[in-house]
């Protein structure tokens, strides 16, 4: 079924992974993809920019698909339904996120940890994503989105928000606990709102005056540099900055029994940990790997209930490469969101 999608579209693709300043992305004209059975073709209205897109573009993550189109925080409209899709209708508002396939049969999937599935596939890495006018998504991995939140505000919730939420769960924040956030970008500023709404005390440890200002505006109890000590011991911490050097720093800031969750998909090497200062007293260091669809649905529900809203910086789709360069340079706070100029 179709509502008359055009034959071709503008889309970004990674020509050859390289430092983003050197322009590894190309803006090309290519055919609008046809949805496979079980998939939706989605007209992209807004696509938020993730640090993972930077890792895909620069080669920190190995190439999974030649000339891939990045982007995995898409708010769009169902423009065509692949064979067998019955739970979506043309024109439905849908979200496309990072996780797009799991096998459903491995031990991890069967015990509810589909985020660990060895056969998982990801949007904007294994399959073309949302830095384009159209993209596809398996209907089983699409999210239904509320009608009353603007596209641009909703898009960053779809990875920054969902992954941040999983990191918050992994950090085992106790009720009314003290939470340290290392790095305060797209993901952290959403997690902070959720944690604050649920009664936590939040300390933001981040470089950059803009990020510190945003943290205070949202209600953080304190801000400091990433290598500074927070004013009180932390029950939980989340490391968003992809900087392994901060692992021992954050571990030292934990209270007895505290947990550090590392949220990124990529982290520079960690220096050795000192057992007495950084691990003893049952401190825990945990990683965060992707998310389950349940995490996603839960987070979207909580985000709407608690009015979690992204601070956004809008770029036209044609400026995607600039948005990634700006992300790397840390020139904006909150989340960058790409919008297609014209949406019929």
- Positions touching Zn ion (CB under 5 A) are 50, 52, 102-103, 106, 109, 117, 159
Please, which residue, 103 or 301, has the CB nearer to Zn ion?
103
Q: Closest by alpha carbon to 320, among 99, 129, 157?
A: 129
Please, which residue, 117 or 339, has the CB nearer to Zn ion?
117
Distance CA 293, CA 128 (A): 20
Please, which residue, 251 or 303, has the CB nearer to Zn ion?
303
Distance CA 213, CA 220 (A): 10
Q: Closest by alpha carbon to 317, among 71, 20, 96?
A: 71
Least spacing, CB of residue 110 vs Zn ion, in Å: 8
Distance CA 254, CA 250 (A): 7
Q: Closest by alpha carbon to 161, among 336, 307, 296?
A: 296
Least spacing, CB of residue 313 vs Zn ion, in Å: 16
Least spacing, CB of residue 254 vs Zn ion, in Å: 26
Please, which residue, 81 or 327, has the CB nearer to Zn ion?
327
Please, which residue, 81 or 241, has the CB nearer to Zn ion?
241
Least spacing, CB of residue 161 vs Zn ion, in Å: 10
Please, which residue, 117 or 310, has the CB nearer to Zn ion?
117
Least spacing, CB of residue 200 vs Zn ion, in Å: 23
Least spacing, CB of residue 109 vs Zn ion, in Å: 3
Distance CA 26, CA 219 (A): 40
Tokens of 217: 């505006």
Long-range (24+ apart) CB contacts under 8 A made by 212-221 are: 212/184, 213/333, 214/184, 214/189, 214/311, 214/333, 214/334, 215/181, 215/184, 215/188, 215/189, 218/189, 218/192, 218/193, 219/192, 219/193, 220/181, 220/192, 220/196
Please, which residue, 110 or 277, has the CB nearer to Zn ion?
110
Q: 180 forms bridges with which residues in the sheet?
A: 203, 237
Least spacing, CB of residue 277 vs Zn ion, in Å: 33
Distance CA 222, CA 180 (A): 10
Helices (H), the chain: 51-58, 107-110, 151-154, 160-170, 186-197, 209-218, 246-253, 293-305, 320-329
Please, which residue, 177 or 185, has the CB nearer to Zn ion?
185
Please, which residue, 112 or 257, has the CB nearer to Zn ion?
112
3-state SS of 52-114? HHHHHHHCCCCCCCCCCCCCCCEEEEEEEECCCCCCCCCCCEEEECCEEECCCCCHHHHCCCH
Least spacing, CB of residue 49 vs Zn ion, in Å: 9
Least spacing, CB of residue 34 vs Zn ion, in Å: 26
């Amino acid at each position: 079924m179709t509502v008359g999608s055009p034959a071709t579209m503008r889309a970004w693709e990674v020509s050859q992974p390289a430092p983003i300043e050197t322009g590894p992305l190309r803006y090309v004209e290519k055919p609008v993809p046809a949805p496979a059975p079980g998939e939706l073709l989605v007209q992209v209205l807004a696509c938020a920019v993730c640090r993972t897109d930077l890792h895909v573009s620069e080669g920190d993550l190995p190439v999974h698909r030649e000339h891939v189109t990045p982007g995995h925080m898409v708010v769009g409209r169902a423009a065509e339904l692949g064979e067998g899709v019955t739970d979506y209708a043309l024109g439905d508002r849908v979200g496309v996120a990072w996780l797009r396939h799991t096998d459903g049969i491995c031990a991890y999937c069967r015990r509810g940890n589909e985020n660990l599935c060895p056969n998982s596939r990801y949007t904007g890495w294994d399959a073309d994503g949302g830095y384009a006018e159209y993209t596809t998504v398996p209907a089983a991995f699409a999210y239904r989105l509320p009608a009353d939140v603007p596209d641009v505000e909703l898009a960053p919730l779809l990875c920054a928000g969902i992954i941040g939420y999983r990191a918050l769960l992994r950090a085992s924040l106790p009720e009314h606990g003290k939470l340290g956030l290392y790095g305060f970008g797209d993901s952290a500023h959403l997690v902070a709102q959720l944690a604050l709404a649920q009664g936590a005390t939040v300390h933001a440890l981040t470089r950059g005056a803009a990020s510190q200002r945003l943290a205070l505006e949202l209600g953080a109890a304190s801000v400091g540099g990433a290598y500074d000590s927070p004013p009180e011991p932390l029950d939980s911490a989340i490391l968003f900055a992809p900087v392994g050097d901060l692992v021992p720093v954050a571990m030292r800031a934990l209270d007895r029994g505290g947990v550090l969750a590392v949220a990124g998909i990529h982290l520079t090497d960690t220096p050795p940990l000192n057992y007495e200062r950084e691990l003893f007293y049952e401190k825990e260091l945990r990683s965060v790997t992707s998310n389950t669809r349940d995490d996603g649905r839960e987070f979207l529900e909580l985000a709407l209930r608690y009015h979690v809203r992204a601070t956004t910086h809008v770029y036209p789709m044609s400026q995607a490469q600039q948005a990634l360069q700006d992300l790397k340079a840390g020139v904006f706070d909150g989340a960058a969101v790409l919008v297609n100029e014209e949406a019929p």
